[in-house]
Chain A
Amino acid sequence: MPRQAMLGNRVRRLRHRQGLTQVAMAGQLGISPSYLNLIEHNQRSLNRPLLLKLSECFDIDLQAFSGNEEARLLADIAELFGDPLFRDIEVEAGELNELVGSAPAACQAFLTLYRAYRNAREDLRGLSARLAEDPYLAASSHQLLTLLTSIRSFAEILHDNVDLAARKRQQFVGILVEESEKLTDLVNQLFEFITGEGFQDLRGADSPVDEVTDALHAQHNHFPDLEDAADAARREIGLRKAGAFESLSAALAERHGITVVLGAEDTGAEDTGTKPADGLNGERPCFGIPEALPASSATFRVARQIGLSTLGPLFEARLAETQLSTQAARDMYCRALASYFAGALLMPYDEFLEAACTLRHDIELLGRRFGVSFEQVCHRLTTLRRPGAEGVPFHFLRVDIAGNVSKRFSGSGLRIPRYGGTCPRWNVHGAFMRPGRIDRQLARLPDGATYFCIAKTETKPGGGYRAPSSHYSIGIGCEVSFAPQLVYADGMDLGKPEIAVPVGVHCRLCERRDCAQRAYPSFVQ
């Protein structure tokens, strides 16, 4: 397994840093040098007692050492080699392991470069599709050519015929002036078209999402300072589950002078209301909550607004750790942090962790207990990574009805592809066929890793007939060994590999040649 493979490299690097020989290190760990050698070359796995011994002897952070980050890097690099661009380059898995293990920074740079290439390629595709298919541009170019043809020919006629009759000359000059004016108008229109909004939306729209996802991953989607801030705010506000909306709204009004207005119009955009609207006629600023919003979402939005209003300095500090390249990505990151804060405020860490265990991760019961939505519970479950008080490591993804992944977090170790769609066999897609019902699946990847996954569709209410609802499928899952802790696995024979559905990550990276649902040819040898 890649994660184990990474560990060998890490042990070797640790030993080099410590300036130890294999004999010396093996002695400290109480194993034979030859066994250590096997571990370093990924021939033997590093079991938990040995891992603990390592952390004792060399004072290392186990979470950092466990190789999650490198495993993700390896998966990213492996996915990259699935690109048809590298069709003629045969790279073996072992080679990639070696590369990621020995030069992680160079791999990171390679990834960055690849992403930049990918964005540029997409921009270019969008642009040429736009140019080729745009009826306006096609008509304009014909018009341009016509104008140029007549201007050029009359200019040349005037030039070559100095003795032209005055009337004829006047007629031709008149045509020249007229056609030049038309040409000016046309060029101005074209210029507006090219620099205007029409071209703006061709920019890679998904890159801020990717950047933010990476920044969250870098913190393992766990933010102790936000947890602390939420605990403090909860105490100050005196927040209780009953009447949470009212007490949060009151706090927002008292502390931040922002009035919550119910029944505001929903623009349909998901981030509506993350910024307080300017007050009308010098009144206090208002914060609108659309009428159609369910109570849990309304409460969540007010909680998020409190985060946005109070956590400016904390956001700044967190932003400084990231390398987000665009303002859009930085804004999105702050919104994500504010949402994290809202989740932590409404679902206190210890209480939520305990409830998750006793209710055996029944997401709907958890939602009812904490007054939050299905998606908010799922999201909170992925944040339970406090060292010493960890919850089940979950992956989480949200796809829309067209299969676009709009949220992803691979905490369970399941690889969720960065580019393009996921494997169509994943139940997060099939869930759309049974809207509103929880779908469960035991999914086995080509490398044998097995995950227990559940999925359910959610509808975000729209604003009536003219602003239709949005539909999403929420998928959450864990490595199969954690599945008995989930109420959803009850009655399923988890030990029977034959009941697991054979899935992949993405068709291009999948070796299952006999899959009837294959969408793209595989690049796996």
Chain B
Amino acid sequence: MTRSVLVVEDEPNIVDSLSFLMKQAGYGVQVARDGDAALRVMESRVPDLVLLDVMLPRRDGYDVCRAIRANPAWDGVKIIMLTAKGRELDRRKGLELGADDYVTKPFSTREIVERARKLLEAAEE
């Protein structure tokens, strides 16, 4: 069964690159441009992994993370937060709210693919 990834990011070019990378790694990709859209997408189809940007318009990444963890139906969903470099506080906050991992921008494409793969393989076992 194909694993699916939800990319939550408001910058179109970053959405394009993440989508390309995830598809190339063999995953199905869904896209949401803001927090509300992300939760709506999840209502209709639960992804295996969410790549979640922190700096989203209106409802930010932390809020979305909290909402995902508050819903038992989404228990198995993995979350990788995309944070700004050097912001230790952001990182800790994401992990405390229930994110599984974080990647700092500007990220390495190989690294983000590697982390996604690891999380999804761990879920399979």
- The yes or no answer to B11 lying at the interface (CB within 8 A) is yes
- The yes or no answer to A160 lying at the interface (CB within 8 A) is yes
A156 x B108 contact (CB < 8 A): yes
A153 and B84 contact, Cβ closer than 8 Å, known pairs A146-B14, A175-B13, A179-B13: no
Question: How many inter-chain contacts with C-beta < 8 Å in the A-B complex?
Answer: 47
- The yes or no answer to B55 lying at the interface (CB within 8 A) is yes
- The yes or no answer to A157 lying at the interface (CB within 8 A) is yes
Nearest CB in chain B to that of A154: its residue: B17
| Chain B contact residues, CB within 8 Å of chain A | 11, 13-14, 16-18, 20-21, 24, 55, 84-85, 105-110
> Nearest chain A CB to B12's CB is how many angstroms away?
9
- The yes or no answer to A149 lying at the interface (CB within 8 A) is yes
Chain A 432-465 interface mask (CB, 8 Å, partner B; 1/0): 0000000000000000000000000000000000
A152 x B20 contact (CB < 8 A): no
- The yes or no answer to A142 lying at the interface (CB within 8 A) is yes
Which residues from A are CB-within-8-Å of B21?
153, 157
B17 x A148 contact (CB < 8 A): no
Which residues from A are CB-within-8-Å of B14?
146, 149-150, 153
> Nearest chain A CB to B63's CB is how many angstroms away?
18
A149 x B55 contact (CB < 8 A): no
Nearest CB in chain B to that of A156: its residue: B109
- The yes or no answer to A145 lying at the interface (CB within 8 A) is yes
A153 and B55 contact, Cβ closer than 8 Å, known pairs A145-B85, A146-B11: no
Instruction: Please report the C-alpha to C-alpha distance between residue A145 and residue B9 in the assembled complex, in whole angstroms.
Output: 14
> Nearest chain A CB to B75's CB is how many angstroms away?
30
A150 and B13 contact, Cβ closer than 8 Å, known pairs A145-B84, A157-B20, A157-B21: yes
Instruction: Please report the C-alpha to C-alpha distance between residue A148 and residue B24 in the assembled complex, in whole angstroms.
Output: 22
> Nearest chain A CB to B113's CB is how many angstroms away?
10
B107 x A149 contact (CB < 8 A): yes
Instruction: Please report the C-alpha to C-alpha distance between residue A153 and residue B24 in the assembled complex, in whole angstroms.
Output: 14
Which residues from B are CB-within-8-Å of A152?
106-109
Which residues from A are CB-within-8-Å of B55?
142
B11 x A153 contact (CB < 8 A): no
From residue 135 to 174 of chain A, which have CB atoms closer than 8 A to chain B? 142, 145-146, 148-154, 156-157, 160-161
A160 and B109 contact, Cβ closer than 8 Å, known pairs A145-B84, A149-B14, A179-B13: yes
Instruction: Please report the C-alpha to C-alpha distance between residue A150 and residue B107 in the assembled complex, in whole angstroms.
Output: 9
A175 and B105 contact, Cβ closer than 8 Å, known pairs A146-B11, A153-B21: no
Task: Pick from A142, A145, A160: contact of B106, CB below 8 A.
Answer: A145
B17 x A150 contact (CB < 8 A): yes
A148 x B105 contact (CB < 8 A): yes
Which residues from A are CB-within-8-Å of B105?
145-146, 148-149
A153 x B85 contact (CB < 8 A): no
Besides the known contacts A152-B109, A153-B21, A154-B17, 20 further A-B residue pairs in the complex with CB atoms under 8 A apart: A142-B55, A142-B84, A145-B85, A146-B11, A146-B14, A146-B105, A148-B105, A149-B106, A149-B107, A150-B11, A150-B13, A151-B106, A152-B106, A153-B17, A153-B18, A153-B107, A153-B109, A154-B13, A157-B21, A175-B13
Which residues from B are CB-within-8-Å of A145?
84-85, 105-106
Instruction: Please report the C-alpha to C-alpha distance between residue A179 and residue B13 in the assembled complex, in whole angstroms.
Output: 9
Which residues from A are CB-within-8-Å of B11?
146, 149-150
Which residues from B are CB-within-8-Å of A179?
13
Instruction: Please report the C-alpha to C-alpha distance between residue A160 and residue B20 in the assembled complex, in whole angstroms.
Output: 12
Which residues from B are CB-within-8-Å of A161?
24
From residue 32 to 79 of chain A, which have CB atoms closer than 8 A to chain B? none
Nearest CB in chain A to that of B82: its residue: A149
The 4 closest A-B pairs by CB, nearest first: A150-B13, A153-B17, A149-B106, A156-B109
Instruction: Please report the C-alpha to C-alpha distance between residue A145 and residue B54 in the assembled complex, in whole angstroms.
Output: 13
B84 x A160 contact (CB < 8 A): no
Chain A 237-273 interface mask (CB, 8 Å, partner B; 1/0): 0000000000000000000000000000000000000
> Nearest chain B CB to A166's CB is how many angstroms away?
15
Which residues from A are CB-within-8-Å of B106?
145, 148-149, 151-153
Instruction: Please report the C-alpha to C-alpha distance between residue A142 and residue B11 in the assembled complex, in whole angstroms.
Output: 11
* Most chain B CB within a 10 A radius of its CB, from A142, A146, A161: A146
> Nearest chain A CB to B89's CB is how many angstroms away?
14
A sample of 27 cross-chain residue pairs with beta-carbon separation below 8 angstroms, ordered by A number, consists of A142-B84, A145-B106, A146-B11, A146-B14, A148-B105, A148-B106, A149-B11, A149-B105, A149-B106, A149-B107, A150-B14, A151-B106, A152-B109, A153-B14, A153-B17, A153-B18, A153-B107, A153-B109, A154-B13, A154-B17, A156-B108, A156-B109, A157-B17, A157-B21, A160-B109, A175-B16, A179-B13
Nearest CB in chain A to that of B113: its residue: A160
B85 x A156 contact (CB < 8 A): no
Which residues from A are CB-within-8-Å of B107?
149, 152-153
Instruction: Please report the C-alpha to C-alpha distance between residue A156 and residue B13 in the assembled complex, in whole angstroms.
Output: 14
Which residues from B are CB-within-8-Å of A156?
108-110
Nearest CB in chain B to that of A148: its residue: B106
Which residues from A are CB-within-8-Å of B24?
161
A160 and B16 contact, Cβ closer than 8 Å, known pairs A145-B84, A145-B105, A149-B105: no
Instruction: Please report the C-alpha to C-alpha distance between residue A161 and residue B113 in the assembled complex, in whole angstroms.
Output: 14
Chain A 119-141 interface mask (CB, 8 Å, partner B; 1/0): 00000000000000000000000
Which residues from B are CB-within-8-Å of A153?
14, 17-18, 21, 106-107, 109
> Nearest chain A CB to B26's CB is how many angstroms away?
14
> Nearest chain B CB to A194's CB is how many angstroms away?
20
Nearest CB in chain B to that of A141: its residue: B84
